[in-house]
A and B are shown apart, each in its own frame.
Chain A
Amino acid sequence: MDLRTVVGSLLMLILVACPVWADEAPNFAREVLPILSKHCFACHGPDEDTRESGLRLDTREHAIEELDSGSTAIVPGDPDHSELLVRVITEDEFLQMPPPETGKSLSNDEKQILRRWIESGANYSLHWAFQPIERPTPPLPKEDGWGRNEIDAFVQARLHAADLSPSPAASPEDLVRRLYLDLIGLPPSYEETQKFVGDPNDKAYEQIVDKLLASKHFGERWGRHWLDLARYADSNGYLGDELRPDAWRYRDWVIQAINNDMPYDQFSTEQIAGDLLTDATDSQRIATGFHRNAMANTEAGVDKEADRVVQTVDRLSTFGTIWMGMTVGCAECHTHKFDPLTHQEFYQLYAFFNNLESDKVVLGYHEQGAEDDKEAKRREAKIEEIVAKVQQDVDSLNPAQKELVDQHLQALAKPEKQRTEQEKEALEHWLADLPDETRKLLSKYEELASQRPTPIQIVAPAVQQRSKPRQTFIHYRGDFRQPTDEVQPGTPSFLPPLNSREEEADRVDLAKWLFHPEHPLTARTAANHIWQHLFQEGLFRTEDNLGVAGDPPTHPQLLDWLASELHENGWSRKSLIKTIVLSSTYRQSSQQTQQLKDVDPENRLLGRQFRYRLEAEIIRDVALSASGLISKDIGGPSIRPPMNKRLTSISRNKDWDVSRGDQRYRRGMYILFRRATPFPMLSTFDGPDSTSACAAREISNSPLQSLTLLNDPVFFECAQSLGQQELASEEEAWITELFQRTLARSPSSDELAASHEFYQQLLAALEDRKSSDLKAIVQDEKRGTSLIQQAAQVLMARSLMNLDEFITRP
């Protein structure tokens, strides 16, 4: 056993929430179930079709039964006669389970846990995440004055049990930067930072938090997190990857709703079922644009039903990932291998989404486009003539009705399809009473009006329920061409019951069900999403899966406490975020000491904060902010920053017309996202591909990223702009200013020394360059300073904008 293994085993012991003693029964949900699920359930779990030798280990009832072979997998209290343990510990490669070639053999620790569990009676309990949430009482806080709220009590107790202490608070500079980046995704200015550094008290800290939570940029930062889950994109994907020019209406709905701190239950219900709410507003219907984010295959000759089924499965899987934190999609072809979700229940959930169809919310009309002037004039003159005549005629009949006549005429000028039922009926009556002559005139009027160019609608994508409902069947092995039994909308039996308003449940009922007070999944999943964006990792680290095959939570009680906080505070996410960022846990330094690295390299005990590279969009925002170029407009159609056209030219949808003016300096979240040819900078920095709900982004580190920050035209333009700002003339002073503008702090003496040396190198390298080269570097030549000096400033700015610290959340 080498040192790593020793450390690893020690860690295992430390990480188990309750200390484990050799004679104490292991906790089933926390210790035993993960082993069984990882090593055994694929062949001995809930799925009948893949079950081997008739053995089923996911329920006690089946596991202790005598098998056809005569042996019994688990004999409670008697590990040596339990075939499970015998087969797990044997060295015989033909008998060993799982078979050695699967590479799933158990570790010694795992074998010991199983032995002690069987010895103690092999009791089963419900998987932790399926148990109801009971608000835990926080441990008594230690009296060392470290903790500020309940979160800290939970965290400190765990650390204490592992003989660790929390890290000291981060520096005031880091705290401000962390808050700004986490809450609004924009960096603080040097001045804002200094204000806090001058007097870093709790009240000042809270004021910053309140200011940022109220900022309209909060909705952008947290809206983008949501859009990852909602697999938002501006195109269909597939062959033509046609643009969805109105998709941004949903994106803007998300930003607004989050800025308004719309309670999470309402926020969810409107997206799942806004169209079915009583007297649904435009806004509630726009929220259902959520379902329209599914990819769509519009290839000529496409099998439409096949694509509709793919989209429906995607809608259900997305629903499962976001609100249930479960990999529901696994049960499309067969009963779930790990979680108690049957094949039938999958299709009962599927039934809720099986009758969606596309709809649009008409928000108004665009102004008329150009048309042939002469033609239009002639027509409008005729129309006017008729209107005058008709009014005169009618007037002579009944002068009191002028206003009404105007209304009728307006209705008649609309295309028939756009007339309301009321208008149609009124017109019918009115026309019937008119003299033939007038009626003739009016029919001419109608014809002329119909020649007016059709007004172009302003629309937002939405969904509606199909008027002729289709039946839902179980698809044999996930193949829709092989329907079997019919099913009705319903929810899995291991979760709280569904209460439907009508006989057949609909999406509104489904949304309400999620927020049933006893529903164990919704609040835990939501609280985890929030936590993860303030600590990089969730409290359970498989953020898309709190099911049996997922990672158990590092702090189960803290998770439940947060979940009940969320629920009890009217599902206000802002208030939960505030509680978390006010905690001492959040405020810890992210420094990795040797002790922490040795004992808890993955920071599962939260003995420090996390330090991590920013997301793709935020890297752009940070660069644009430092350069002064940024446009902070909120919402609106997506934008196209400059990029290498080669990348879109290889696709069917080739155009990339670079946005003009301020538009090109807007935040990263507004970049038009084409699924077939994603904006390269976004993919290079691990932006999601929008094919399915993304609960956690990868954070990679690659040479392509370095080349992007060094050479990409967008980033170089930022460097040019920053290097060309009004800067002090003295060397140390302008370098210091550049540090302050990029990192919101002043350089250390070591940094100044290195900068001085680099500056000298630059001067030497630039000295004999042609002035056209220098001009290319500086872009906008300024008077008063030499070209070489200007170029050196640009290059210094460029380097500082490439620093790890610049693109890192501290």
Chain B
Amino acid sequence: MQNHAHQSACQHARRNFLFQSLWGMGAVTLSSLLGPDEIVSSATADEREDPLGKRKSHFPARAKNCIYIYLEGGPSQMDLYDPKPTLNKLDGQPLPDSMLENMQFAFLQKETARIMGTSRKFAKHGKCGMDFSDLLPNLASCADDLCMVRSVHTDQFNHVPAQLLMNCGSAIAGRPSMGSWLCYGLGSETQNLPAYVSMATTGRGIPGGSASWSSGFLPSSYSGVLFGSEGQTVNNIENPKGITDEIQRSSVDFINTLNRQRVTQTGDSELVSRIKAYELGFRLQSSAPELTDLSDETQSTLDMYGFDRKEPEIKSNRGGKGLFREFAYDCLMARRLVERGVRVVNIIHSSWDHHSRLEPELTHNSLMADQPIAALIKDLKQRGLLDDTLVIVGSEFGRTPLGENRPGYKKVTGRDHHPGAFTILMAGGGVKPGFTYGASDDIGWNVAENPVHVHDLHATVLHLFGLDHTRLTYRVQGRDFRLTDVAGRVVNDIIA
């Protein structure tokens, strides 16, 4: 099904002549919109002509929606998820040369670097006894719903290449993001909202900007749509000042009346798509206020997400200040979007890149993120949405067990980028709950057990959505591209 030979350069698809429903409007609605004469052949229009029409997966899917919480910069796994008692014992010691051979770091001077222990307290949580540090008490309370993978590894140690690999499957720019592939494979479940929404909460700014939710060479219909901050959705959703909904409605009607007159003159069915796009644009405008109106949420729900938490003072923070409410809002909005049929939601927070000041800043970021993410998982569960919704909490790499001794730093207070072994969390959508998978070695340097490469992670995610990562391809520049490049292996062990 998914290997149309769309061929050409950058993005391709070209004009999808005949029908092109952007939010996936069906033929029935369309005929009522256009009148019977203008329907050319919608009944047989295939998915190529209807990029976001709902499509069948390769095999039965476990997950329908994806919420991907991307904590940009590389949160320190050994201070959050992966307890390393040995690390504390070896604190201040050098690593043997053999372990440093052929290793490259962004900043760390390996000749003089020393192992850095952690002051965090770890404990086992839930019936499953999953480890969490004291920075994540709320996530710890979801332990029995979480699947923790401690053996993820990547090929890249610089932010953007690693980020592109993690979010788009390749360190080379211009490839579609994972969310775009999911929408390409499965289409949209909603007619009123974009299939793929991105929300960004950022202190320092996201490296590479929109690359993380770009559709790359896939048609732009599969791109994530960036939402504004609280209460805002799509860019240009609001009428210019002074223009009422009534005026907007009659303007769209007038535009479509004149466009319809041209259909007969030109015989161009692309006009039918244009007419529909105006109708859908207006619908999007009409449904946005309901989406962002939180008055139907109870106070206890808002409290659970932590809308009105008090943020402690911090001198400076790479992850920004004053974002506690925004992050809580994004998490709640993710649930509301999934409820309304949005296929993929990205929540991006930037940044967790703690080269220095790890102690205060990681604490601050964790305080911001822990409660809302845990609330989201609980909320999805109690509404029966978690079974169908795959939640992923991850980053592009982890951090080094060695303290960062960058030249010019007075004290060692942080860790460098570490691609060798790091941790991600998953929940719902068919992954094993209360399950810890894979292991890093005693100091968290390398994977010791059950390695999961980024490509394997992607293969597994697609699998959960009923998609075979080797068959979900798109032809461009003479080659059938896929999310997993030429690699990837489904990690069956983490699938429930």
Q: Please give the residue numbers on chain A whose beta carbons come within 8 Å of chain B beta carbons, in ascending order.
A: 4, 38, 101, 103-104, 228, 237-241, 295, 297, 299-303, 306, 310, 321, 327, 329-330, 337-339, 536-537, 541-545, 547, 549-551, 590-594, 597, 601-602, 611-613, 644, 646-647, 649-654, 674-678, 680, 683-684, 686, 688-689, 691-708, 710-713, 716, 748, 750-751, 754-755, 757-758, 761-762, 765-766, 769, 772-777, 791, 795, 798-799, 802-805
Contact = CB atoms under 8 A, between A and B. Distances in A.
Contacts, number: 315
Contacts of B244: 765, 769, 773
A710 B160 CA distance: 35
A299 B207 contact: yes
Given A650-B206, A703-B22, A769-B242, A695 B9 contact: yes
A628 to B, nearest CB: 19
Interface stretch (B31-39, B255-263, B290-298, B373-381): B255-263
Nearest to A643: B235
Contact of A327 (B205, B254, B477): B477
B478 A701 contact: no
A451 to B, nearest CB: 29
Contacts of A601: 17
Nearest to A593: B267
Contacts of B283: 703
Given A301-B417, A699-B14, A592 B268 contact: yes
Nearest to B417: A301
Residue of B161, B206, B232 most packed against chain A (CB within 10 A): B161
Nearest to A717: B240
Given A544-B477, A697-B11, A701-B270, A758 B238 contact: no
22 contacts: A228-B10, A237-B173, A239-B208, A301-B106, A301-B107, A301-B416, A536-B15, A591-B265, A591-B266, A613-B15, A676-B210, A683-B223, A697-B11, A701-B273, A706-B278, A707-B235, A710-B248, A750-B261, A758-B253, A761-B254, A769-B244, A804-B274
Interface stretch (B61-69, B137-145, B213-221): B213-221
A711 B238 contact: yes
Contact of B20 (A536, A694, A700): A700
Given A338-B478, A683-B223, A704-B22, 18 more contacts: A101-B471, A103-B471, A303-B157, A550-B478, A594-B267, A650-B202, A652-B205, A652-B206, A692-B9, A698-B11, A701-B16, A706-B278, A706-B281, A711-B237, A750-B261, A766-B247, A777-B241, A791-B242
B225 interface: yes
B56 interface: no
Contacts of A590: 266, 268
B267 A591 contact: yes
A301 B105 CA distance: 8
B236 interface: yes
A686 B173 CA distance: 17
A592 B266 contact: yes
B3 A676 contact: no
A707 B284 contact: yes
Nearest to B280: A703
Given A544-B9, A689-B214, A329 B477 contact: yes
Contacts of A705: 277, 281
Interface in B409-428: 416-417
Interface in B1-20: 1, 3, 5, 7-17, 20
Nearest to A755: B254
B309 interface: no
A354 to B, nearest CB: 18
B248 A803 contact: no
A711 B236 contact: yes
Nearest to B416: A301
B204 interface: yes
B172 interface: yes
Residue of B200, B208, B219, B479 most packed against chain A (CB within 10 A): B208
B157 to A, nearest CB: 7
A449 to B, nearest CB: 34
B134 to A, nearest CB: 30
B213 to A, nearest CB: 11
A602 B17 contact: yes
A295 B171 CA distance: 13
Nearest to A753: B257
B221 A700 contact: yes
A303 B10 contact: no
A765 B247 contact: yes
Contacts of A239: 158-160, 207-208
Contact of A303 (B12, B158, B261): B158
Contact of A697 (B10, B17, B241, B417): B10
Contacts of A697: 10-11
B484 to A, nearest CB: 15
A691 B215 CA distance: 12
B403 to A, nearest CB: 16
B442 to A, nearest CB: 27
Contacts of A104: 3
Interface string B70-107: 00000000000000000000000000000000001111
Contacts of B5: 38
A613 B266 CA distance: 13
B291 to A, nearest CB: 15
Q: Please list the 9 inter-chain residue pairs (A to B) with the smallest Cβ-Cβ separation, ordered nearest first.
A: A301-B106, A676-B209, A691-B174, A706-B281, A592-B267, A694-B10, A776-B242, A703-B281, A239-B207
